[in-house]
Amino acid sequence: MSQLERTLAIIKPDSVARGIAGEILTTIEQAGFRIRGLRMLRLDRRQAEGFYAVHRGKLFFADLVEFMSEGPIVVLALEREDAIRKWREAMGATNPASAAEGTIRKRFGTSMQRNCVHGSDAPDTAHFELGYFFRESEMV
């Protein structure tokens, strides 16, 4: 059996505002992830810029920072085998219009930007992103 892995998931402001955070949490649990950490918070602009620093300079960066700081989010440390890949599969493609049927972004996403959820894309980004929100002792 392969090793357990952790990834960072975010339920974005659009989802929390629409009252579908609970439905997304249910989907996450039913898909076989263990929730090891969970917090609700609101990013300020500087925190959103820091989290998405890798996208600084891109055309969508300013709008992304605006969006991610517009309201509360839920951040999650998810665990299972192959968690990074499996969570990206469950989310679907960045653009909800081209996401596979049944994925979270297909079901709930409304645009490339307001795409409901985020997930780390590789082990090094998962390490950075988990550390951005959770101390080791807060993942239980």
Is 118 known to be catalytic? yes
Q: Which long-range contacts (CB under 8 A, 24 or more apart) does 44-52 make?
A: 44/69, 45/69, 50/132, 51/129, 51/132
- The count of chain residues that interact with ligand CMP, using the rule CB under 6 A, is 8
Question: What is the H or E stretch that residue 42 is in?
Answer: none
**Min dist. Cβ of residue 55 to ligand CMP (A):** 6
Instruction: Check residue 104 for interaction with ligand CMP (CB under 6 A).
Output: no
Instruction: Check residue 88 for interaction with ligand CMP (CB under 6 A).
Output: no
- Helical residues (DSSP H) of 12-133, grouped into ranges: 13-18, 21-30, 45-51, 61-68, 83-91, 104-108, 123-133
Instruction: Check residue 60 for interaction with ligand CMP (CB under 6 A).
Output: yes
Instruction: Check residue 118 for interaction with ligand CMP (CB under 6 A).
Output: yes
8, β-bridge pairs? 77
Instruction: Check residue 113 for interaction with ligand CMP (CB under 6 A).
Output: yes
Q: Which is nearer to ligand CMP, 103 or 115 (CB)?
A: 115
Smallest CA-to-CA distance from 126 within 134, 114, 138 is with: 134
Instruction: Check residue 27 for interaction with ligand CMP (CB under 6 A).
Output: no
Instruction: Check residue 47 for interaction with ligand CMP (CB under 6 A).
Output: no
Residues designated as active site: 118
User: What is the contact surface with ligand CMP in residues (CB under 6 A)?
Assistant: 55, 60, 64, 94, 112-113, 115, 118
